[in-house]
A = this chain, B = another copy of it.
Amino acid sequence: MPRIAYFGPSGTFTEMALADLEVAAVFDGPVERIAAPSQGAALDLIRSGAVDGAVVPIESSVEGSIPATLDSLAVGPRLQIIAETELDVRFTILARPGTSLDAVRTLAAYPVAAAQVREWVARIMPEARPYVSASNAAAAEDVAAGRADAAVSTALAGARLELATLAAGVADHEDAVTRFVLVTKPRPAPAPTGADRTSIVLELSNEPGSLMRAFAEFATRSIDLTRIESRPTRTGFGTYRFYLDCVGHIEDTAVSEALKALHRTCHVRFLGSWPASAPTGTPPPDDEPHAEWLTRLRAGVADL
């Protein structure tokens, strides 16, 4: 039975994402779920060989990329993303039975969750002071243990700990969605489906124009970039890592040519090609007719 780590404890959205991926038959049969205390810890369990894969959140439509996940993917032995799933992220506000909304003085939340309900909290419980929890599930545990009055958490966690629901479906942004990915050791990418996502990390030298040249490798090949995020490399102001997602698969000629071209001039880390959970953007142009034309040219065919 494959062992799959997830950013836990039990009850997090990440565990829900893992369940979704199980249902989607990404694995061959059931898996053993191993809770890890952070995204980095989950990924390191792959590197150490303790697990066969890990599920971690990678991007929120509200907050952008999840820094801890990106940083952990960008350094250390290379890992590879092989699948994704997206969850509508709405929170349940939990409290010990008998606690009313007005009585909440401290509100436990995982910071990423706190950021997604900031406006709701400011409106509904403006007096509540924040208590930082290590995950959405941990926030519920903090309430159960009396360390906070209420928690920004999930229904699953509430049920598990027999907490009361003060509010459900809470989210500042109606269409908040979080993307979760399944990560493994490097392996051949899943077969192209025609609606794939490819993800890379670029480290660019700081000379003027280097970024434009890198983007030109995608633009001249009509490859659609769907995520572009930069983070400092922590070696001083002005040097960045770029986290790029594009539509397409490493087996698509346009994508593989772009990767080769980038590899000529900068450090490229390939994070994987996998089926997109929802179609986004425009697939790269079909190379086949042009490759055929080239083959005929090389063969010396007169009539093109």
**Interface residues in chain A, defined as those with a beta carbon under 8 Å from any beta carbon in chain B:** 59-64, 77-78, 80, 111, 129-132, 134, 173, 175, 177, 179, 185-189, 208-209, 211-213, 215-232, 234, 236-238, 240, 250-251, 256-257, 259-261, 263-264, 270, 280-282, 285, 287, 290-291, 293-294, 297-304
Question: How many monomers of this protein are in the complex?
Answer: 4
Kindly report which residue of chain B lies nearest to residue A132, judged by CB atoms. B132
Contact assessment for B257 and A257 in the assembled complex, using a CB-CB cutoff below 8 Å: yes
Give chain B nearest CB distance to A239 CB in angstroms: 10
A290 CB contact (under 8 Å) in B77, B132, B229, B260? B260
* Known contacts A130-B132, A131-B132, A256-B294; is-contact A237 B232 (Cβ 8 Å): no
Chain B hits for A251, CB < 8 A: 298
A216 CB contact (under 8 Å) in B220, B222, B301? B220
Contact assessment for B256 and A59 in the assembled complex, using a CB-CB cutoff below 8 Å: no
Contact assessment for B238 and A227 in the assembled complex, using a CB-CB cutoff below 8 Å: yes
Contact assessment for A297 and B259 in the assembled complex, using a CB-CB cutoff below 8 Å: yes
Contact assessment for A260 and B291 in the assembled complex, using a CB-CB cutoff below 8 Å: yes
Give chain B nearest CB distance to A141 CB in angstroms: 12
* Known contacts A208-B282, A212-B212, A256-B294; is-contact A62 B232 (Cβ 8 Å): yes
How far apart sit A19 and B168, CA to CA, in the bound complex (Å)?
Answer: 46
Q: Top 9 A-B pairs ranked by shortest CB distance? A: A132-B132, A187-B300, A260-B290, A212-B215, A209-B219, A212-B219, A186-B302, A64-B232, A186-B300
